[in-house]
Chains A and B, each alone.
Chain A
């Protein structure tokens, strides 16, 4: 099986979520997966790590997903971002994300188990850019 070489960063405050996403991605042959426990660490890693795609949680202590998006945008990091959220009303968050950052993707966490790999693959087809 052809290994997928895309470099992926998972930003989520919950260890089990990070681990689970990593496992889901691993099951889909994404082997270069890195994790960050929060927005601050995530942005720091994104700046240095040259990731192809960042999977970003929204609700995190200290700095939220919105804060991370702001920073990534401000620092003009060329990458792709997919927001994964478990909030009560995913479509509201999704619409808001689309409005503020048209190039950022959105997926409710509940769908991640099944659709995440396809969505990541899909997004990787588009070129990385400053969001």
Chain B
């Protein structure tokens, strides 16, 4: 539910509650005031009615007073003269005074005379039985003076009694005189006196109309002598209990009163409701409009801006704070601060991403380059290996072919003796070459797989002499003579005989192969803890740019030239295996000198011999 709708709902509910609450409270107060007023009014009316009834009795008593304190009456009780009756108890004058009954009683309470007057529908034939009893009680409990209402023969009447005294009001009392006046229905109706109000009566004892009964119940239960029971919206009724002279309840009076003010009250309540309703609606509406204008719309706007920011393609522009310095402005400021940090973080992220990417790119490039290099090296190695195998095939085939051809010559014969000798030497030479080549393969594979070196103590000079022997013939074919220097000594070394023999053989083989002139100089020198071997020829020089590559595996100055390109590599590996080093120097005026040095044993003595 939207904030706006929620606010509208809350405002509505609050307005309704306030409206109903205020209305309820005001209505209750008004209603109570009204009711109190009405009750007071009704009470006044019924009390008036009650008082009027009492007044009637008092008025009757006053009339009776003239009769009671009168010498004539005093005398009449004593002598009972007819004259008194004739002159004073005339029907017409009594009727004019609206007196239904007048009775005279002696001091013993016995009836002296009762005179009944016929007025309207009032009965005048039978003397109500109650009268004598009243007179007796009057004499018994008081001085004989009393007034009130009584039910006489089933009809309501006002009754007054007075003691019979002289005109001077002196006694002794001759008895009591009683007057009764029946209260007619019209009189009862007029009891309340006011226009529009009618009074009715119900004598206790009979079957009561329902409202009298409930009023009676109410009054007898509460002990009050009055009660008010609204009949309808337009009428209410006030009740009171009328008691007779004995204090005994005899009738209930009801005053039916029109509720003019109740209608007024209801109208006022309606006005009030309308006013409250209007006020609440106006205030509620105004409240909502102001809330919406000053708070909700701002929150909504902020929300919309935040939503824009929240979208994936939304930009991260600042929200627009308004000028009211309150929490919402603060929130906008907070959002802006957050956005600023977010932008900074995004920027930072982007930057680090870029830097990471570029680093990655660089690294990948570098690695790729390395891989390309490695691959190229591997390819080159592979091709060199293939070249090596191809060359080795040639290298092996060459001496083999020579041997084969010479063996064929030997089989076929037909040559001079000299030629046959030559042929034999060729076979021997090439057998040695073959052996050297095969040795090369074996040593190479030994170096490739495991480097099984078996060193033992031996005389280095003797070893070199052995190798010279192997190559002497080869050299002499080319007309080369080998000069030895430093061979008259023993230099003991720890070495692998076979490997060193191969290494030396390789150097000899190269020296002879590339020698153009007739001399090769081989020298053995003891230098400190090392023995240095050198072999120098005169012939082709190593090109300057190739000098560093000489000892690399498969290196050949001329790819088409015979040879496998592993000889010098193997030589270097072998010398290194003996903790020595091998190097090249150009010879003068031309040619090459190859050196190698390995540690000599301490026990070796310089033993120069001719």
User: A: which residues have CB within 8 A of B?
Assistant: 13-17, 19-21, 23-24, 26-27, 59-62, 64, 86-88, 109-110, 112-114, 116
Interface residues on B, range: 20 to 34
Residues on B with C-beta less than 8 A from A16 are 399, 402, 426, 429-430, 477
The answer to whether the Cβ of B133 comes within 8 Å of any Cβ in the partner chain is no
Chain B, 387-431, CB within 8 A of any chain A CB = 389-390, 393-394, 397-402, 404-409, 412-415, 419, 422-423, 426, 429-430
Interface SS of A by simple majority: helix
- Known contacts A20-B401, A27-B413, A59-B394; 15 additional CB pairs below 8 A are A17-B402, A20-B405, A23-B409, A23-B415, A24-B405, A26-B419, A27-B412, A27-B414, A61-B560, A86-B394, A88-B390, A109-B401, A110-B397, A113-B409, A116-B405
- Alpha-carbon gap, A16 to B400, bound state (A): 11
Contact residue among B407, B408, B422 (Cβ-Cβ distance under 8 Å from A19): B422
Residues on B with C-beta less than 8 A from A62 are 558, 560-561
Q: A16-B426, A109-B401, A113-B404 are in contact. Are A61 and B390 (CB under 8 A)?
A: no
Q: A17-B398, A87-B393 are in contact. Are A59 and B405 (CB under 8 A)?
A: no
Residues on B with C-beta less than 8 A from A60 are 560-562
The answer to whether the Cβ of B478 comes within 8 Å of any Cβ in the partner chain is yes
Contact residue among A13, A23, A59, A113 (Cβ-Cβ distance under 8 Å from B401): A113
Residues on B with C-beta less than 8 A from A114 are 408
Residues on A with C-beta less than 8 A from B401 are 17, 20, 86, 109-110, 112-113
Shortest Cβ gap from A77 to chain B (Å): 22
Q: A16-B429, A110-B404, A112-B401 are in contact. Are A23 and B394 (CB under 8 A)?
A: no
> A86 to B409, Cβ gap below 8 A?
no
Residues on B with C-beta less than 8 A from A26 are 415, 419
Residues on A with C-beta less than 8 A from B426 are 16, 19-20
For A22, the closest partner residue in chain B by CB is B419
> B405 to A21, Cβ gap below 8 A?
yes
For A1, the closest partner residue in chain B by CB is B414
List 11 interface pairs A-B (beta carbons < 8 Å), by A numbering: A14-B398, A21-B405, A23-B406, A27-B409, A27-B412, A61-B561, A62-B561, A86-B401, A88-B390, A109-B401, A112-B404
- Alpha-carbon gap, A27 to B413, bound state (A): 7
Shortest Cβ gap from B549 to chain A (Å): 17
